[in-house]
Amino acid sequence: GEGKIMDCFTENGFINYYGMQRFGTSEVPTHHIGLALLKEDYDTAIKLILAPRDNQFRQLRTVLEKYAKEGDANAALASLPNRFKFSIEGKLLYGLSTNHSNDKINALGRIPIFTRQMYGHAYQSYIWNSTVSARLQRFGNCVLKGDLVFDHSS
């Protein structure tokens, strides 16, 4: 039971991974958007955020499908039902429609800062998980120099 699990942790340690919720639940993982933003590839970030997804409300998906084909943010925003105007997609379409077509940074700035930060944090978490996985493959779960361990003898 519980004692065996704690004994396993005591003996082998605990590898801390970020959970899947950090990476989003849609067809476009949030860490892909984070990578595009970190690379300053704003066109790709916008395309990923506005990508139509099977799990979206039909009305929103229809607008995003039209935007993906035509690239007209004004028309997409005008056809977006009011209930989606304050969604991430709605805010980005508003930013695209009110800024110069080359001003992707200010268009993305319409998305709340905590959401934009979440994209970057998702990519950081992805790098962490990838690094931990590579370390486990290479060294197993043995303690290495630089690991944080609790010395039970002191």
Please write the tens of the pLDDT for every residue from 8-62: 877 777 788 888 878 877 788 999 999 999 999 999 999 999 999 999 999 999 9
Q: What is the pTM of this model?
A: 0.85
| DSSP element (H, E) containing 121 | helix 113-139
The Cα–Cα gap between 137 and 152 comes to 27
If you ran DSSP here, which 8-state letter would residue 114 be given?
H
Say which DSSP state 34 is in: H
Q: What is the pLDDT of residues 63-98, one digit of tens each?
A: 999 999 999 999 999 999 999 999 999 999 999 999
